[in-house]
Structure 1
Amino acid sequence: MKKNVLILAIILCLGLLVSIVYFLKKSQPIISPVGKDAPKERPLLSYTFENLKKTPFAKSEITLGPMVNNSPEFYSQMFYFRAPRSPGSAATLKVSGLINIPQKPGNYPVVVMLRGYIPRETYKPGIGSQPSAQVFAKNGFITLSPDFLGYGESASSSANPFEERFQTYTTALSLLSSLTHLNTGLDASYSGNITADLTKIGIWGHSNGGHIALSVLAISGMAYPTVLWAPVSQSFPYSILYYTDEYDDGGKALRKVLSNFEQEYDTDMFSPSRYYSWIKAPLQIHQGLSDREVLPWWSLDLTKILKKNDIDVTYLTYPNADHNLLPSGWTNAVQSSINFYNDHFYKKFGIILP
């Protein structure tokens, strides 16, 4: 009898012990193998203006490709360079573009031309800049118009629509950094008869290309004389939301993606308008007063902001001219642009043009 009582007592004690251990374990929190407060990855932080300003952009070779047009006064041909997949990345992507070169042997200033938005399905290298580029080439300038990633013969851009947008900055910065290799590419095709004067570099931007130019100038601090035609200068993301009425879905998908972006990032850190005070380059801004894509008061406000920050800026307007400065402003705008570059490349240094 005593033996049975002892066995029962042992069983009860074991049961009680097992119960205590079970409840203690149940009350313990489950610890994640990656840590309780593991921060979420935010890869696009590398594209903030503060971070891009600290990012070095490696120099790429610039090679010349097939001839597109051989006119009596200038050559048009494809060119290629490489840009980083992401800021600071060793992995690079092929970027194509169109270069215009005066036919007459000589040493010519360079203008990098940044186009506005063009739908992929209708895009061809040079669209958005070629009409002006041809006039520049006839007047003694070498022009380079990058296609940007996802266009022309370039590699694909990021699948993320915001990274794709930011990649235009890194692509333009990479091209400007790589201009030191332009003469190597020219020499391979023209045996030293036609060269680039790399002491005379300018930038031209139209519409969203103006937005890219403003961003590049702020990030780099480069003092290259810059001409802007109807530049998109509003803050991000308003600068893209303004155009959502042109989307088939009225911008619904873009607003959803933007909402997700704003949950992870501070949009101010990606907005060029917050960093215009960093610009050191002289600018000439052209604006059609009948423009409905870039509202005239945007460019007027931009001019006021730049002047407030002691930035050298000239503002020119054209009545009855649209987003492309047509029908009444285009010819004058092209000539004023040429005069602006020549003033900064030559006259300010007392050089008399032939």
Structure 2
Amino acid sequence: MKKILFIIIVSFFSVILVNWFIIQQKSNTPSLKKVIPKEKPLLAYTFENLKKTIFPTNTFILGKIITETPEIITQIFYFNVPDKPDSRNILKVSGVINIPKNPGTYPIIVMFRGFIPEETYQPGAGTEHVAEVLAQNKFITLAPDFLGFGESSSPSKDSFEARFQTYTTALTLFSSLPNFNTALDASYSATIKADIDKVGIWAHSNGGHIALSVLAISGSTYPTVLWAPVSKSFPYSILYYTDESDDQGKALRKALALFENDYDAQLFSPERYYQWIKAPLSIHQGSTDREVPISWSDDLVDELKKDDIKLEYIIYPGADHNMLPTWSSVVKNSIVFYEDKLNNSSTSK
């Protein structure tokens, strides 16, 4: 009897021990653990996904007048942009508009400036002088400040998303142009109007990077003038300038390493999608430019020609990044390009 009782007790504890061991093995088996995929919100900003995004048609508001001459009026304007692609949360963006004073209907030139530190930026900086000449030659100019500049809302705290928000800001501006005359009518009693079928782009330096990106994503045919455009692939195009930062780019490289752990940088690089561009281009480059080497524009032109993109390429011997001392000639050539392209045909989104 004692032997039988002993066997029963041993068997009971053996079953408990075996079950405990099985449970422990299951809990430590990686294949049985619940895997939670990591969120990758910046995928919304890949060129493929932005191309599929429908951007809103928002309203414009004209604000205070900055300056007024016998020929033109310069004032602040505002419009709203989504904080993320397809988001209903909106952010305010300010900018500067130049308007010819004489009653009439005028083409629009949207202007994208190059890099300017936030602490020294003033609305219109980087575009104001060219904008003034364009307005004197019967163009309305619109230069967005972008998020974080002027009176605009703050951008994303993620430094890479903040960069990509320049694309969504520009694309929203273009998608909102059908409402632009409503703002002009409210301020100028319908005496001054914009011809929204005749739209061009002017861009300088990093603004050229934005313009090329927007043209590829949208497939628009806006005649575009590029002064010394930043055209190299992302992220090389930002790493190139790290020697200008106080930490020699240490923080940027750290952030980039984290970014590339989660994302394929090529999916965010405009250079990969230049074949999508349909707009005619006028590219202007100074031969002594140290910020955007002439080889960059040479390579850009070669690449665009492979894709049969219509363009003209003008090199200015001795000119620097700001086109000095040939600035007046560059502006004149830019205006001739606009007059030819905008007077002979309508543009499309």
Q: Give TM-score scaled by structure 1 length.
A: 0.94
Structure 1 residue 28: deviation in Å? 1.3
CA deviation profile, 1:8-60 (whole Å, cap 9, x unmatched): 5544333223222221211113589x963432211111111111111111111
Q: CA RMSD in A?
A: 1.6
For the structure 1 residues 31 and 109, does the alpha-carbon distance in structure 2 shift closer, same or farther, using more than 3 Å as the test? farther
Tell me the residue number matched to 2:85. 87
Moved over 4 A (4+): 4-10
Q: Output the amino acid matched with 1:221.
A: G
Counterpart position of 1:323: 321
Residue among 100, 116, 119 paired with 1:118: 116
Alignment of 1:218-237 (within 5 A): 218-237=216-235
Q: In the superposition, relative to structure 1, how do residues 31 and 230 fare at CA in structure 2: closer, same or farther (>3 Å)?
A: same
Please state if 1:344 is matched with 2:341. Answer: yes
> Aligned equivalents of 2:67 and 2:151: distance in 1?
17
Q: 2:329 aligns with which of 307, 317, 332?
A: 332
Query: What is the CA deviation profile of residues 258-281 of structure 1, one whole-angstrom value per residue up to 9, with x for unaligned ones?
Result: 111111111111110111111100
Instruction: Kindly tell me the number of residue pairs found equivalent between the two proteins.
Output: 344
Equivalent-residue separation in structure 2 for 1:22 and 1:199 (angstroms): 75
Aligned to 2:298: 300
Alignment of 1:141-156 (within 5 A): 141-156=139-154
Gaps of 5+ in 1: 350-354
SS class of match (1:66): strand
Q: Are 2:27 and 2:33, in contact at CA under 8 Å, matched by a contact in 1?
A: no
Q: Cα distance, 1:152 vs. partner?
A: 0.8
CA–CA distance in structure 1, aligned partners of residues 258 and 317 of structure 2? 41
Between the aligned partners of 2:172 and 2:341, the Cα distance in structure 1 is 23
Aligned to 2:102, the other structure's residue is in SS state coil
CA distance in 2, matches of 1:150, 1:93: 10
Task: Specify every segment of 5 or more residues in structure 2 that has no aligned partner in the other structure, as ranges.
Answer: none
Matched, 1:182 2:180: yes
Q: What residue is the counterpart of 2:41 in the other structure?
A: 43
**Residue type at the aligned position of 1:156:** S
State percent identity of aligned pairs. Answer: 58
Instruction: Give the counterpart letter for 2:236 in structure 1.
Output: Y
Q: What does residue 352 of structure 1 align with? A: none
TM-score, normalised to structure 2's length? 0.95
- Cα deviation, residue 284, structure 1: 0.4
Q: Determine the C-alpha separation between the residues in 2 that align with 1:162 and 1:345.
A: 35
In structure 1, give the amino acid aligned to 2:271: S
Cα distance in structure 2, aligned partners of 1:17 and 1:37 = 31
SS in 2 for 1:150: coil
The answer to which of 213-222 and 68-77 deviates more is 68-77
**Map of 1:258-269 to 2, 5 A cutoff?**
258-269=256-267
